[in-house]
Structure 1
Amino acid sequence: MTYTALTLVALVVVVVLDRWVLRTRLTSSSTWWLSYAIVVGFQLLTNGWLTGRGIVRYDGDVIVGSERITAFGEGRLVFAPVEDLGFGFALLLATCAVWVRLGPRARDAKES
């Protein structure tokens, strides 16, 4: 399976997890999107540095675009493949949704 396909599957799974399984509905909150904007800025800096210098490389057969390292275009954004943004979003949303579901407020609500 390609990195692109895995990213798309992860995005669908995590949105289903957030909306209907855990019912945290973080993606309905402006707080979530503001927090994500801050995180994605740093993600782009980090991914850009690692991929732009060739420390991390991707096989052109498993990503959108080619393995040619460019700052923008050919399926890349600040040197990193666009799949990294989707996969990072999925990882962050899954972590936050589980955190909210298992957090103190959830426990307090169960005890009441």
Structure 2
Amino acid sequence: MTYTLLALIAVPVALVIDLVVVRTRVVLTLQWWIAYAITLAGQFAVNGWLTGRRIVTYDGSTILGTNHQRFMGDWRIFYAPVEDLGFGFALVLLTIVSWRWWSARDARRPASD
């Protein structure tokens, strides 16, 4: 399975978990999108550093574009393959959804003093 296909699966799975399975509906809030924009800036910086310096490399046959290092273009954004955006979105969303779900679950439990 390619990195591209996995990224295309990860985003809808994360959205379904948020909107349908646990119903936290995080992605429907302005708070989420502001937090995600801040996270995305950090992701660009870290991905750019790691892939631009070739600390992390990708097999060109598993991503969109080629394995040539480019700052922008050829399906790369700040040196990283565009697929990293999908994975980053899914990972951050699932982390926040889990946090919200567990927090709400704990709040519903009676205190055991």
What interval of TM-score do these two structures reach, taking the shorter chain for normalisation?
A: over 0.9
* 1:26 matches 2:26: yes
Equivalent position of 1:37 in the other structure: 37
Cα distance between partner residues in 1 of 2:55 and 2:107: 46
Equivalent position of 2:65 in the other structure: 65
Task: Please give the TM-score of this superposition, normalised by the length of structure 2.
Answer: 0.93
Alignment coverage as a number of residue pairs: 111
Task: Please give the TM-score of this superposition, normalised by the length of structure 1.
Answer: 0.94
Cα distance between partner residues in 1 of 2:27 and 2:53: 33
Percentage of matched positions with identical amino acids: 46
Cα distance between partner residues in 2 of 1:8 and 1:18: 16
AA partner of residue 109 (structure 1): R
Cα distance between partner residues in 1 of 2:49 and 2:65: 19
Cα distance between partner residues in 1 of 2:47 and 2:66: 17
List gaps (5 residues or longer) in structure 1: none
List gaps (5 residues or longer) in structure 2: none
> Runs of at least 4 residues of structure 1 off by over 2 A?
105-111
RMSD of Structure 2 on Structure 1 (CA): 1.3
